[in-house]
Structure formats: structure tokens, C-alpha cells
Chains A and B, each alone.
Chain A
């Protein structure tokens, strides 16, 4: 099976712009989670989608949003970018339940100038 893919791999934006990141899960996986990884804060959970519905949400401002499509592909959007949004954004997919293993994509490196 193909792994989790994320596009684009690298992105450079300026403050105030918005950005959309894409994630294609492993075939058959219905749950997609997004994480932000920074050197100072480590891995922080953004949100999880399951069957097109947001099932869990982390403690991020409303500028961070996401959605999931009927084919389980997911997008994450960040509006009004700030310098502090520079990070590696990781997507992970799993079949469905809490004991299922999450498999991670390679990430999208976002740099905000």
C-alpha cells in the first residue's frame, strides 16, 4: 500500500497570507489527524477528522481549520499567517479506532516570512 502523502512538501509564505495543505491517507484509513511540530513546542495536536467530521480538536486558534472529503483526503487551512506558524505540519492516518496505529506522512515544511 502507498503511504500517507502530503503536498506540498515545502512552502514559503508571508505574514497575513493564507495557506492550504493537503493530505492523502493510506487507502482504507478513515481517520486523519494533523499535528504541528516546532523545536520549542514539540508535537502538538491540531485536529482529527473521521468520516468527514471533526472528531477531536486541539488548542489552536480559529485561524487553523480543516476538512475531510468523502475519499478521506484531508486539507488543513491556516489563515492570516503569523511568523510563529512556521513549522513542520504532519498528517497521520489510521483505520478508525483508538488502538489503531497512526501512520505519518513526510510533512509539509511551512516557512512564514
Chain B
């Protein structure tokens, strides 16, 4: 079935450091890919998405490129801030597959000043 694998957390960085959170997927159909973020005490919110191969999603300085050849959608940010501290979830939804939004386990990011 469809699945998402994220890098194990937690991840702790200093402010202005470079961030990469790895995400790979297995899908029976042709997926759309998403990154959701959950700030402390809040619900999940969409950070960015890509719906076809080679698309790049971007928002708030975060980027992720849909790589069909490596089945990956890694999240990157060039310079993290304390306010980026949150849990990040990679997810997919597949046309022709299970059709559910399937999430990874999440990666907790802490950014220290």
C-alpha cells in the first residue's frame, strides 16, 4: 500500500542553520505530495505541495521538489528561525491508489537562538 517514510527526529538546529528533512514515498498510483506543519498547541496546516513530477513547492522560505526518479520530496530551508520550531509531516494522496491522505510519522524540529 501507499506509505511515507520520514527521517527520524528530533532535529535540533541553531538559528540560521540549513534544514533538510528527508521524505521518501511508496505509491501504487500517481501521487500528489504535501508537507504539513504542526506548531505547538495548533492543528496541522499545509506548508507546501506539489502535484506532478519536477514541480517545486515553496512557502515561507521552505522548498521541496517532487522527484519521481528517487520517489522523494525532501523539505529544505536555507536559514531556519526559532519560529520554525514545530513538527513537520510529509504526506501523499494517490489517484488510482488508496485515495487517502497518508502521512509520515512526523519530524520534530527545534531551533535554538
A binds B: no
